[in-house]
Amino acid sequence: MHPTVMIIPSFDRPFARRGGWRARAAITSCAAVALLMSWLPGSARAVIEIEITRGADNAIPIAVVPFGWSGSGEAPGDIAAIVAADLQRSGNFAPLNREDLVSRPVSGDVPRYADWRLTGADFLLVGGIRPAEQGQVVEFQLFDVLQQSLMTGFSFKITDQTIRSAAHQIADEVYEAILGISGAFNTQIAFVSVAGAVGDRRYELQLADADGMNSQTMLASPYPILSPAWAPDGVSIAYVSFEGRYNSAIYVQNRSLGSREKILSREGINGAPSFSPDGRRLAVALSFEGSLDIYVLDVDGSNLRRITEGSAIDTEPVWIDDNTLLFTSDRSGGPQLYEVDAAGGRASRLTFEGNYNADPTVSPDGSTVAFVHGGEGGFQIAAIDRASGLFTTLTQGTLDESPSFSPNGQMILYATERDGRGTLGAVSLDGSVVQSLTLDDGGDVREPAWSPYTR
C-alpha cells in the first residue's frame, strides 16, 4: 500500500516563526496507526545531556562530601554526586572538587569549621546511608561554615529504585535552605522527539527527570505529536495527536495508570490544550465554528464553551489563574498576547513591544509571562512582568520557541535550533544562567513542558 502524504497545518503555531502559516508534510501509511505505550523507565543513562553554558557570577561554593555507608559491600549509589551535579547545573552553586575536600565527615560528626573555611566553602553537606528493612535509610546535614551552625537535616527511607529521587529531594532541600526558594530538581520534563527520514518518521512523547535521566516513552507513533501540557497533579498529560487520517485529536493520558482518553476531535483544528490550575478544565483552540478561537471544556470532554469570537486568529491559551486566560491573537494586526476572563468577555492586550509576541507561558505565581518575541535578529524568549509591564529579552537564539516555566518559577525551558537540529535550552528568569540540553540519540527534540510539583 502506497504511503499517503498529509499536509498538516501547525495549528498550535499559526504565527509561524518562519513566516506565514507553516505547513509540515508528514508521510504516513494508510495502515492502522502503530502506537506504543511504555511505562518501564529506562536505565539511569541520560536521555538528555545538560551543559551549563553560563552560570551565575556569584555561584556559591559548597562542599558536598560523599555519603558514608554502614552496610556490607558497596553503597547502593553515590547520592552526593547526584546532589552536587544538581546544584552545579542550577548555575547558582559551585561544588568543590572531591580532591579538594579536607576530610570526609558523615552525618552525626561535628565538622571542623576552621578547616572548611580554608577550602573556601560557604556551606557543607554531609550524610550517610545505612541498611534498613526492605531498603535503606539516608540522612543528611547541611552546615553553614561561616556561621558555624546546622541549617537543616533529616532522614528518610529509600530503596535502590528511589535513590536518585532521594538525591534530588536532598538537593531541593539544600537549594531552599540556602536561597530561600523551592528547588525543582525532583521534577520531570516532557518533550517530543522526532527521528527518522521523511517517509519513516517516528514521533515520541517522552518523559525524563529534570537532570535528563530515567527516560520513559509515553507514546510512540508515525504521526505527529504536539503540545504536551501537564495537569497540575503532575500525573496526567494532555497533547495533540494525528491518528485519524486527516484530523487531529486532543488526548489526556494518565502516566501512572497507563491509560489515555480522547477528549476532543472536532472538524478542523483541535489544538493547544492547557489545564486550569484546579485541574478541572481544559482551554483549547478550535476552528469547527469557522475562525480559530479559544474554548474551555471540562476535562471529561463535556460542557464546551466558546470564549473568544470574531475573524481573528485566537490560539495558544494558557491559564493565569482559575478565572483568567492568556492567549495569542492577531486581532491588532500581528500576533500579540491578550488576557480574558475564563467565562468570556472583552480581552485586554498585554504586550506592545515589537510586532511579534506569541506562544506564552505563565510563571507558577502568575506574576510573569514568558513568550516568543520576534525581531530583526530572529525569535527569542522574552518575559514581561504583568504588574509593571517591564519587558526583558532572555535568550539570544534565532529560532527559540515553546517556553515552559519550572515549577519554582526560576528557570524557563524552551526549544531552539543548533546546527540545523532541534534541541532544548533553559534560561534563568534573570538571564544569568543558561543551559544547553541535547538529545543523546541524535534526533530532534521540541515542545518541552516542565512538570509541576507532584502532589
How many Å apart are CA 429 and CA 451, to the nearest integer?
A: 17
The pLDDT, as a whole number, for residue 46 is: 58
pLDDT tier at 441, thresholds 50, 70, 90: low
Q: Is 122's pLDDT higher than 70?
A: yes
Q: Which of 231, 340, 344 lies closest to 280, judged by CA?
A: 231
pLDDT tier at 311, thresholds 50, 70, 90: very high
Residue bearing cell 477528549? 263
Of residues 41 and 139, more confidently modeled = 139
Work out the average pLDDT over 112-117.
96
Q: Is 328's pLDDT higher than 70?
A: yes
Q: Are 205 and 184 in contact (CB under 8 A)?
A: no
Of residues 7 and 390, more confidently modeled = 390
Q: Is 260's pLDDT higher than 70?
A: yes
The pLDDT, as a whole number, for residue 455 is: 57
- The sign of the dihedral angle between the CA atoms of 167, 171, 176, 182 is negative
Work out the average pLDDT over 299-315.
96
Query: In this prediction, what percent of the chain has a pLDDT beyond 70?
Result: 89
The residues pairing with 128 across neighbouring beta strands, listed in sequence order, are 68, 139
How many Å apart are CA 211 and CA 295, to the nearest integer?
A: 35
The pLDDT, as a whole number, for residue 8 is: 36
Of residues 449 and 36, more confidently modeled = 449
Work out the average pLDDT over 190-207.
89
Residue bearing cell 535578529? 377
How many Å apart are CA 103 and CA 413, to the nearest integer?
A: 38
- 3-class secondary structure per residue, the chain: CCCEEEEEECCCCCCCCCCCCCEEEEEECCCCCCCECCCCCCCCCECEEEEEEECCCCCEEEEECCCEECCCCCCCCCHHHHHHHHHHHCCCEEECCHHHCCCCCCCCCCCCHHHHHHHCCCEEEEEEEEEECCEEEEEEEEEECCCCEEEEEEEEEECCCCHHHHHHHHHHHHHHHHHCCCCCCCCEEEEEEEECCCCCCEEEEEEEECCCECCEEEEEECCCEEEEEECCCCCEEEEEECCCCCCCEEEEEECCCCEEEEEECCCCCEEEEEECCCCCEEEEEECCCCCCEEEEEECCCCCCEECCCCCCCEEEEEEEECCEEEEEECCCCCCEEEEEECCCCCCEECCCCCCEEEEEEECCCCCEEEEEEEECCEEEEEEEECCCCCEEECCCCCECEEEEECCCCCEEEEEEEECCEEEEEEEECCCCCEEEEEECCCCEEEEEEECCCCC
Work out the average pLDDT over 321-348.
96
Q: Which of 273, 234, 276 lies closest to 250, judged by CA?
A: 273
The pLDDT, as a whole number, for residue 245 is: 60
Residue bearing cell 543548533? 418
The residues pairing with 385 across neighbouring beta strands, listed in sequence order, are 368
Which phi and psi (to 5°) does residue 227 adopt?
A: 55, 55
Q: Is 304's pLDDT higher than 50?
A: yes
Of residues 24 and 303, more confidently modeled = 303
The pLDDT, as a whole number, for residue 442 is: 67
The pLDDT, as a whole number, for residue 244 is: 66
CB atoms within 10 A of CB 217: 18
Of residues 17 and 167, more confidently modeled = 167
| Cβ neighbours of residue 96 closer than 8 Å, sequence gap 6 or more | 61, 62, 63, 64, 119, 120, 121
